[in-house]
């Protein structure tokens, strides 16, 4: 954590950056909101708290995560949310981070039920959101983490599976790559550690990271050089 602060905090003696620290908006679903992290409030909140001291200025981070959001909900609010967070007259945020897709991959009613957002619709909507975001400011995308399928269905109706996630993760990765948007593939990174490792980092609902999961996420974000460089 200390290394991250040293890396991303604006250096003393830089009046212009001190007067106008970078504004960062993070838009997405419950992974952004931080649901499940009773200790730190999620990875976005853990990151935000590092720069809450006015005597040590750094990026100003806005958590715009909404539980249950899918790609269509993010598309509907992206530009308006972005434009409201410039703080100063005629200014807009400097960095935008997206994280969405898990809720779109859910199946309704049964494991083979209808997808919440079919793959064609998801790909089209995601392509639009990514390109819209790029027009606003430098954009980064944080991927989803695997689920634990054993407790499904979630909320007695939604079935999430790693097989469906794998396809949506691949689509997201490909669209980001084609659009020149840096993508942090948490799904593959976590799965490479094994099923037991992943499940230890998820709440009993099988869907949301727990405290250990968000600590791990924070370490993943801190080690992601493209985003950390953008915050300097």
Average pLDDT over residues 116-121: 98
* Domains, the chain, with CATH or none: 2-231 (3.40.50.1110)
Average pLDDT over residues 130-149: 97
- Residue among 167, 140, 156, 191 nearest 28 (CA): 140
The tens digit of pLDDT for each residue in 79-110 reads 999 999 977 666 899 999 999 999 999 999 99
Q: What is the pLDDT, as a whole number, of residue 13?
A: 41
Q: How many CA atoms lie within 13 A of 69 on its CB side?
A: 24
**Is it the case that residue 214 has pLDDT exceeding 70?**
yes
Note every long-range contact of 19-23, with CB atoms under 8 Å and residues 24 or more positions apart, other chains counting.
20/88, 20/91, 21/51, 21/57, 21/58, 21/59, 21/60, 22/59, 22/60, 22/93, 22/94, 22/95, 22/231, 23/59, 23/60, 23/62, 23/85, 23/86, 23/87, 23/91, 23/92, 23/93, 23/94, 23/95
Average pLDDT over residues 138-151: 98
Q: What is the pLDDT, as a whole number, of residue 210?
A: 98
Instruction: Give 123's pLDDT tier (boundaries 50, 70, 90).
Output: very high
The tens digit of pLDDT for each residue in 30-84 reads 999 999 999 999 999 999 999 888 877 789 999 999 999 999 999 999 999 999 9
| Alpha-carbon distances, residue 186 vs 91, 110, 169, 194, 213 (angstroms) | 32, 26, 9, 13, 12
**Is it the case that residue 226 has pLDDT exceeding 50?**
yes
Instruction: Give 19's pLDDT tier (boundaries 50, 70, 90).
Output: low
Is pTM beyond 0.85? Reply is yes
Q: What is the pLDDT, as a whole number, of residue 89?
A: 65
Question: How high is the mean pLDDT of the chain?
Answer: 91
**Is it the case that residue 1 has pLDDT exceeding 70?**
no
Look at 100 and 12; give whichever has higher pLDDT: 100
Query: Taking each helix axis from N to C terminus, what angle separates 119-136 and 162-179, rounded to the nearest 10 degrees?
Result: 40
Q: Are 93 and 25 in contact (CB under 8 A)?
A: yes
């Amino acid at each position: 954590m200390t290394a991250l602060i040293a890396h991303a905090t604006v250096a003393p003696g830089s009046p212009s950056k001190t007067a106008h620290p970078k504004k960062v908006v993070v838009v997405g679903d419950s992974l952004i909101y931080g649901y499940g992290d009773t200790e730190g409030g999620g990875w976005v909140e853990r990151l935000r708290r590092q720069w809450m001291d006015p005597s040590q200025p750094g990026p100003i981070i806005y958590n715009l995560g909404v539980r249950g959001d899918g790609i269509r909900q993010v598309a509907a609010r992206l530009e308006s949310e972005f434009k409201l967070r410039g703080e100063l007259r005629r200014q807009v945020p400097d960095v935008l981070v997206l994280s969405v897709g898990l809720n779109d991959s859910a199946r309704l009613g049964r494991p083979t039920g209808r997808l919440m957002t079919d793959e064609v619709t998801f790909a089209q909507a995601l392509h639009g959101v990514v390109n819209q975001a790029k027009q606003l400011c430098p954009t980064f995308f944080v991927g989803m983490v695997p689920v634990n399928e054993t407790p499904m269905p979630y909320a007695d109706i939604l079935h999430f599976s790693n097989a469906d996630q794998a396809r949506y993760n691949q689509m997201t990765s490909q669209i980001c790559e084609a659009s020149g948007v840096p993508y942090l593939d948490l799904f593959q990174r976590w799965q490479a550690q094994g099923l037991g490792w992943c499940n230890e980092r998820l709440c009993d609902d099988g869907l949301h990271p727990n405290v250990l999961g968000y600590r791990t996420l924070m370490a993943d974000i801190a080690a992601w050089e493209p985003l950390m460089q953008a915050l300097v």
